[in-house]
Structure 1
């Protein structure tokens, strides 16, 4: 490292803007490549004839609302959820476009080009719906889940040109506790909005 580079590092550290780091920020399209596809988790594609096409202009966070114990197979969960959504609810598919597991893995669910479904009164047309497994009325989201939410929200905001101020929770649109008090606080206190904004800046 040259003297000039060392000096720049020292000045940066004294200014409290962090040391000189050579860590490369992962491009957002790399985040998309890591998403587990419907075929990979053993599901079948959404039938477009049974759902409404839409254009994404909001990003909305949900929780599973049920316990998801460590060791539970997320792929089996997704297959069960897809079957229940279609056979019992009569929906076109899983109501959400993406699901995040306990390890922060992101799974594709309903086709993002088709509007989701909900058990509540709001119309999710235009909303990219993210579900995080677990019941966040009872447990805390873990660090891997929080990081995955930020990465996915940033990807969606960038890809569909959604302003950060259009990132909300299910309860902002309907009478529900979803996404749970322990997850919603990260929307309420601006944590997700700030981190997504920072992620978008770093990706440029």
Structure 2
């Protein structure tokens, strides 16, 4: 049967229409990755005079956020940067760890300092396995003294940002002593905020904000 010019035109129209539908379908399937949750301001390793540790080939996947305390009294107006430099040297030379055992350190004035890269699992002197944990340490001996209000505020902000960034709920928040029978860390004065649920509620409130 001879094909007319009208037949060619109709076939061409059908081809263009199908192509347009395919493109529309592809466009509908494509998605823009959601932006990472913003982290609170931090003092980076270079700013406090430390040296960075090279990240591993395969970063750990964060599934928990675990609170610690320093376990030592930290005098007001002491030099936080000098303390962190000493801690980094001790961790590497004496303990033979890759870096400071924690990923973040919060000073009494509320400033947050980056420490070990989050991609590297933390270290501990106790029996728990910190693989998959983001370790947040509040300076001071919180078994004997109260955490400063600025510390608590920064801890809530940091933990909420980590939870949002890694898709975690407040049930992923715990403390060192929840995983180890060998420690009082993070100290009773910080632990009571977790035990009462106050800390988790503050984090949940932040996570609910647009």
Fold-level similarity (TM above 0.5): yes
For residue 196 of structure 1, the aligned residue among 200, 203, 206 is: 203
Based on CA coordinates, which of the two structures has the bigger radius of gyration? 2
List runs of 5+ in structure 2 lacking aligned partners.
Answer: 1-36
List runs of 5+ in structure 1 lacking aligned partners.
Answer: 1-27
Instruction: State whether residues 39 and 162 of structure 2, in contact with CA within 8 Å, keep that contact through their aligned partners in structure 1.
Output: no
Which residue of structure 2 lines up, in the alignment, with residue 117 of structure 1? 123
Rounded Cα–Cα distance in structure 2 between residues aligned with 1:98 and 1:167: 15
For residue 98 of structure 1, the aligned residue among 80, 83, 104 is: 104
User: Post-superposition shift, 1:53?
Assistant: 3.5
Rounded Cα–Cα distance in structure 2 between residues aligned with 1:53 and 1:90: 20
Rounded Cα–Cα distance in structure 2 between residues aligned with 1:64 and 1:200: 27
Q: Which TM-score applies when normalising by structure 2?
A: 0.80
Q: Deviations over 1:60-109 (max 9, x none)?
A: 00000000010111111110100000000000000000000010000000
Aligned length: 174
Alignment of 1:165-180 (within 5 A): 165-175=171-181, 176-180=183-187
User: Post-superposition shift, 1:173?
Assistant: 0.1
RMSD: 1.6
Rounded Cα–Cα distance in structure 2 between residues aligned with 1:142 and 1:52: 36
For residue 150 of structure 1, the aligned residue among 132, 156, 172 is: 156
Which residue of structure 1 lines up, in the alignment, with residue 54 of structure 2? 47
Rounded Cα–Cα distance in structure 1 between residues aligned with 2:101 and 2:39: 25
Q: Which TM-score applies when normalising by structure 1?
A: 0.82
User: Post-superposition shift, 1:30?
Assistant: 5.6
The alignment partner of 1:29 has SS state of coil
Q: 1:67 to 1:52 in 2, by over 3 A?
A: farther
For residue 89 of structure 1, the aligned residue among 95, 100, 113 is: 95
